[in-house]
Structure 1
């Protein structure tokens, strides 16, 4: 795994901050693995990423790897810092959520969270509650201090892939969907259960169901002011022919549930969406273009930058030799971290973006 810095305006490397670790084969997944996602600490000094079964902490300024946290027995899909920066929560295919002390880098607690893979985990803005989403079709709320289950939110009919809190902590958004292959994985498939649900975070009651995506909802996020939800979607059609379908970003009114705008232009599955801290930009990343055939395909990915108010496409950031698995802004909005499926994180300088 390495971290590289690029300028978001010129798309040129500013400098290589680290060297790749190990051989190419090891670099691509036998040691680090594909980046599940990456996140900044609240003070912007540390980046946490997940790859394979492990979690990695990086110094955001020197780019040195600080620590590898080991404890999950299957792939880690999601990592996040608590709002005070003292705790990391990680979610895994092993069905657990692990809580880690950032200072000691020791595991605090393991939550036997879901009956299947846990795909997404997030803290509420006050740090008191953790929400998780899983392949068991549920969203679960946890006491962040005790690890006790508070409530299970049911209603999704397929895998819940992503979950987010509003900035005031009163609303939860969850996105679902699953690809069902028709006649085997080498053939095309169809998407089922694609929807976004809005929940009252205090009572667990369903507020509204947002429909309209034609494919799997992979990412949902609230704008900093809580008034808008951005969602990213897409699914793979199979290993022959067209690689993906339904690749889009949708903007929703978080209060009424009405669709505001659909942002199109991605050619592959939209895997991750993020708002800039000031709420003016949306970035979305895509991945997984097999060029029609498994045997000769190559992973590629791009990041699109949008005006959050008008939906105008501002820029396309290219340079990922692996697909883009995650995008996350630093707290000051000057740096964007993007995780790659080849086990590398790219840092983009957004301070120069007009």
Structure 2
């Protein structure tokens, strides 16, 4: 909450809290003893972390204690993407089992799903208005789902690995990163691409919009963060 710390995860199942200014580790490591961790997402109140494990479990962690609060099961393969709803009451998870699930944070019950997407899901994202869930798959393909009914619209049936998705604060623009070292902006009202793909030197692993929606940030395997107007 004070903007001075960051939580990082690694493939060995460990979480580490680091000082943003010095990079030094703060306190003991947190450990997911079941499996490696494929993804993490911090809640908007900065009090909880949702994680996805290689064994298909979705876990809720306390930031204060570094301990698991709840474990949710429903996936049959690795979970590589999780995202909080804007109100913090739900978490959506995407898995290599080809499905996504929406969980109620308080009860741990499934609100929606498992929903079959037809392919391994490596990216899930809530829209800021909580009306849409976007999914991206390993063999290419972006779908926009109604967050309550799970009806869907195809935005792009590309054949390139979709690794990350983000939706702008005004719910009008989506960005997704591809395995060909590019990121593409999409108009969600027309379901058409905006401009040409954004090219980076390395594989684009993460994308996000600034709070005011004026800038796009991308991060890749070349260990650089790029800011786009």
The whole-number CA distance in structure 2 between the counterparts of 1:176 and 1:229 is 14
Where does residue 210 of structure 2 map in the other structure? none
Q: Which runs of 5+ in 2 are unaligned?
A: 192-229
**Is the 2:56–2:75 contact (alpha carbons within 8 Å) kept by the matching residues of 1?**
yes
Corresponding residue to 1:305 among 133, 144, 167? 144
Question: What TM-score results when the alignment is normalised by the length of structure 1?
Answer: 0.51
CA deviation string 1:218-246 (max 9, x = no partner):
10111111000000001xxxxxxxxxxx1
The whole-number CA distance in structure 1 between the counterparts of 2:171 and 2:4 is 25
Segment of structure 1 superposing worse, 132-141 or 213-222? 132-141
The Cα of 1:126 is off from its aligned counterpart by 5.1
**Is the 1:307–1:313 contact (alpha carbons within 8 Å) kept by the matching residues of 2?**
yes
**Is the 1:230–1:251 contact (alpha carbons within 8 Å) kept by the matching residues of 2?**
yes
CA gap 1:194/1:305 in 2 versus in 1, 3 angstroms: same
CA gap 1:343/1:321 in 2 versus in 1, 3 angstroms: farther
The Cα of 1:318 is off from its aligned counterpart by 2.0
Alignment of 1:184-333 (within 5 A): 193-234=55-96, 246-288=97-139, 301-308=140-147, 310-333=148-171
The whole-number CA distance in structure 1 between the counterparts of 2:177 and 2:41 is 19
Q: Does 1:336 align with 2:198?
A: no
Counterpart secondary structure, 1:339: strand
Q: Does 1:347 align with 2:223?
A: no
Q: Does 1:139 align with 2:15?
A: yes
Question: What TM-score results when the alignment is normalised by the length of structure 2?
Answer: 0.77
Which structure has the larger Rg over C-alpha atoms? 1
CA deviation string 1:133-167 (max 9, x = no partner):
21111122223233232242113322111001111
**Is the 1:323–1:340 contact (alpha carbons within 8 Å) kept by the matching residues of 2?**
yes
CA deviation string 1:259-314 (max 9, x = no partner):
212142322210000011122111010023xxxxxxxxxxxx11111122x13223
The Cα of 1:130 is off from its aligned counterpart by 1.4
**Is the 2:167–2:175 contact (alpha carbons within 8 Å) kept by the matching residues of 1?**
yes
Counterpart secondary structure, 2:57: strand
Alignment of 1:8-27 (within 5 A): none
The whole-number CA distance in structure 2 between the counterparts of 1:323 and 1:140 is 29
Where does residue 31 of structure 2 map in the other structure? 154
Counterpart secondary structure, 1:264: strand
The Cα of 1:213 is off from its aligned counterpart by 0.8
**C-alpha RMSD of the superposition:** 1.8
Where does residue 175 of structure 1 map in the other structure? 52
Counterpart secondary structure, 1:219: strand
The whole-number CA distance in structure 1 between the counterparts of 2:159 and 2:32 is 38
**Is the 1:172–1:198 contact (alpha carbons within 8 Å) kept by the matching residues of 2?**
yes
Count of residue pairs brought into register by the alignment: 190
The whole-number CA distance in structure 2 between the counterparts of 1:255 and 1:142 is 28
The whole-number CA distance in structure 2 between the counterparts of 1:230 and 1:303 is 16
